[in-house]
A = this chain, B = another copy of it.
Amino acid sequence: MPTPARTSLDEIVLAGRTILEADGIDGLTMQRVAATVGVRPPSLYKRVEGRTHLVRLIANDVVGELAETMDAAATSGDPRHDLRRLAHAFRAFAQANPNGYSLIFGQLDEAERADPELNARASAALLRTAAALAGPDYGLDAARTVVAWANGFVSMELSGAFRLGGDVDRAFAYGIDRLSSSISDGAPLPR
């Protein structure tokens, strides 16, 4: 005799993401998720292989949203301007979703990480813009430099690593300005 479904995969992932953002990765327990969607913990295993799988599904959800955000930020046609907007959109996303951000860029087991294709989509706009600035020969190097800086800056900011005072917003603007000009094709080469 069939029992009507009391929840769904989407509801589980959404509940998981909400709990993650509220209480961090350690607060994300199967019991919390089950209670949130109104079911007992064992029932979750009808829709999800286990906690590791659920974490990956949440990471996919977050990284997909990041991809949309980034795509929407790179539409001006001026790569210089786009790069600045991309950097600011990236930082704003991380500040709005700190624990979700850590899920994407933090160190996780392979099985917990978001799908590589989704990660590629999230960085596509930055790659394209950096390549437009740096030219074909150094496009990939330039993109990696910008992504590394943005990710490092934001994760240090989120973890409270900038402890020496000063204006963190100014440091961010300084960084994107210097990077933007120094990766640009035609900029003077390093002396």
Q: Which residues of A contact B (CB under 8 A)?
A: 24, 26, 102, 105-109, 113, 116, 119-120, 127, 138, 140-142, 144-145, 147-153, 155-156, 158-159, 161-164, 166, 168, 170-171, 174-175, 177-184, 187-191
- Report chain B residues within 8 Å CB of A150: 152
Q: List 18 A-B contacts (CB under 8 A).
A: A26-B109, A105-B161, A106-B107, A107-B159, A116-B163, A119-B161, A120-B163, A140-B171, A144-B171, A145-B149, A145-B171, A147-B156, A148-B149, A148-B152, A151-B152, A155-B155, A180-B190, A188-B188
Interface centre among A102, A145, A168, by most chain B C-beta atoms within 10 angstroms, is A145
Contact B145 A156 (CB under 8 A): no
In the bound complex, what is the Cα–Cα distance between A149 and B145 (angstroms)?
Answer: 7
Nearest CB of chain B from residue A112's CB, rounded to whole Å: 11
In the bound complex, what is the Cα–Cα distance between A116 and B159 (angstroms)?
Answer: 12
Nearest CB of chain B from residue A86's CB, rounded to whole Å: 15
Number of copies of this protein chain within its complex: 2
Query: A182 touches which one: B119, B138, B152, B181 (CB < 8 A)?
Result: B181
Given that A107-B106, A147-B152, A152-B149 are contacting pairs, would A191 and B182 also be in contact in the complex, using a CB cutoff of 8 Å?
A: no
Q: Which of chain B's residues has its CB closest to A166's CB?
A: B140
Contact A175 B148 (CB under 8 A): yes
Contact B178 A145 (CB under 8 A): yes
Q: Which of chain B's residues has its CB closest to A138's CB?
A: B174
